[in-house]
Structure 1
Amino acid sequence: MNHTKRIQPTEYNQPVAIDDKPDGGISTSTTTSSQAGFHTNCTVRASTAAHAYCGILIPLFNWGEERFVSTEDYQFLEMDFSYSASSIDSLAISLINQRQTQGTQFIHYVYPQQGQQQIKLPLRQFMVPAWNAFDLYQANKPFEHTFTQANLLQVVTGDSKKDRQVTFDIHHIALTGKWLSQTQLFASILVVWGVILLTHLLLVTYNSVQQLQQQNRTNASLQKLNQHLKAQAVHFKNLAKYDELTGLLNRKGLNACYEQAIRAYFNKSQPYAMILLDIDHFKQINDSFGHDVGDDALRQVAKTVQFELREQDTLARWGGEELVIISPVENITSAARLAERIRRSIANAQILPSHKITASFGVAMLPNDDVEQWFKLADAALYRAKQKGRNRVEQVD
């Protein structure tokens, strides 16, 4: 909303004519006021005074009132005036703070043309002139460097020392600006508080979303870690059941086969045989060709044996160069035939180019629920095969 203060002549704020006589000059000035505005007639005469001037002093409020114009309330000084001069010069328009004894002046210079004209001066461009600041300093009076408040308006001629006749009629003086009504102010405050509240809610929502997303990321990471740990647990559990060199089951890995064979024994549903085989003269292979060649030979033997087995047969590494087969068969004869087929495959395989590899076998059927006794029977048969010249199959009848 526009905020305007018009300066009009009344019986309480009559203007005052001013000239350079207080400074030793001889210029003269007369001023009158009417509903049409303020009229000033100046006769400027050069003299020994430092400055030759004359003009008008207009109160912004009624004389004697302690009221002031502030840049916080207004933004511009607007004037509509007619100007006539025998020698054109500048006009010094001043806003004066009469609260101080000496009076701080905030001046804005304009350069009028002959005739009627309008000006609009920003209040923040009014500055304290050097001579006024010096006078205040000499009088030991404080002053403000920029315009903040004033209660008098002064219009005087410029600094030219030429004799001249100057007349100016001020038809309109107004201080203008923008301000908010009570309703607008209240609405603005509500808008500001609304923006603050909305910003707060957005920040709270944003932080909540961020925390939720972070929690989801954390949960996803924990779930992924848990899955990884489970996979690792399964992996290590499997490692405990398998032989690292051959990839076959180890002794622990045979426990499930033992349990299956014992259940079948009690149910009388399926006989099981154990076939123990030992690679003949394996130490000589390691001594002659090195342990790396021996390890590779053991892996090749395991592959050869695995090729001859059925899906229901289980092959494991018992230890060293010994392998064990748990096989569901009809009887000891069937188990011995399986062992013989494997023996021939190993003997005929080209595992080492310059060395023939053979194996000895011991075969035994599960006699009861004693796995240890079962192994001892198969091991005894294997021992007989070794004693009888190796590369053969012996069974427990």
Structure 2
Amino acid sequence: MRSKSFSLGLLSLVLFTVCALLAYKYSFNKSLVIDPSSDYKFTVITDASQGGQTTAQLKKTKRAFELSCDIKKAYAWPFCELAVELTEPGQGLDLSTYDTVAIRARFEGEGSQRIRFYVRNSHPDYTKPSNDATLKVNEVEYAPNMYASEVVIPLDNFQVSGWWIDENNVPLEHFATDFSNVPLIEVATGGHVAEGKIKIIVEEIRFDGKMIPETHFLTFIIFIWVLVAISFLLNDVRLARNDLVKTRKQAQELESLTETLKLESKKFEQMAKRDPLTGARNRAGIRDYLFEQVQQVYLNKMPLSIIFMDIDHFKTVNDTHGHETGDEVLKVFARLVTNNTRQSDSLVRWGGEEFLLVCSNTDSEQAEALAENIRAAIEVAEWPLELDVTCSFGVTQMGQEGTSQFIARADEALYKAKSTGRNKVVTF
């Protein structure tokens, strides 16, 4: 059964891959066409700007551009060219997503019948505003009359002109071709154009590419194969695991039951040591911890302090606003205290609105400062129904005494805080 499923899955994957490759080859195409019907700006440039005497005229018909030039040798490198402005000044088209450029052109005239095709790229590292001469010259030179119709040139066949690099002192990192921001393309005479009258006829320039880059598409196909392989592997693992489960079912059920009982026992143990409303420890939950901290006082001479806290006028809150509001106040209070204490401190709900904070390795001065911080935080906190809630604090550090006497002194300090005005910290 597994072998049949694997064969069927592999066959489906192969068919999917073949169909995807065929679909990619014959679809997902995009083109940028430049012909006489295009709404671009077409201009003529000659060597006159360099002191030459070449003249040129551009004629646009329904089928082609006709660039007629009278080449004069008054300049060392005479030329004429057709320039196509693809965008407004300061902008450019990203042609790097295209793979080839197809040019349908021919040359009429004597001498060398070669033309140059320039793709000019703009980049802030080398291009100066309003100076087209600083646009990078990605170029290719060929003889158009050698081809019956159009010639298809991969963009990888372009190279950056050496004279442009020399004239603009371009750094090494920009020697490579770049088609990412192209405002201008040009069709020009070749490097050894003969003197006299020539004509360059351009019917169409077309950039072709894929809407999805080939590397991305192939990566997607590989990803599908890897995903399917992982799926088969996981399925085999799942089936093997199911077989193992069947052979050990009784043992695992017993183990699972035992583990569940342990977790439930631990859960009930934790519940027995926690106050269900506030999440703070209860008296049972603090007993063992407090015993350990008292041992540290006697054995290692580590200071231990406790802070007794009582919410002021809490009975009035319950009587006036109900016990649900009172419960919300208790929960906010516990959360607020926890957020303003250290990880080593332990909060206990002692009873009603009374709480006890056990502060290990803390002397009375440190505990008093901590209590004052908590008191200030409570005073400015936001409370249910916009109530004004304050709290009184009794602080004490353990001395040579028993645990009961230790807690009783903190309780006495709390009583003094409440009897002398509340919302204060008293230390004994």
Q: How does the TM-score come out when normalised to structure 2?
A: 0.41
**Which structure has greater helix proportion?**
2
Give the structure with higher Rg (CA).
1
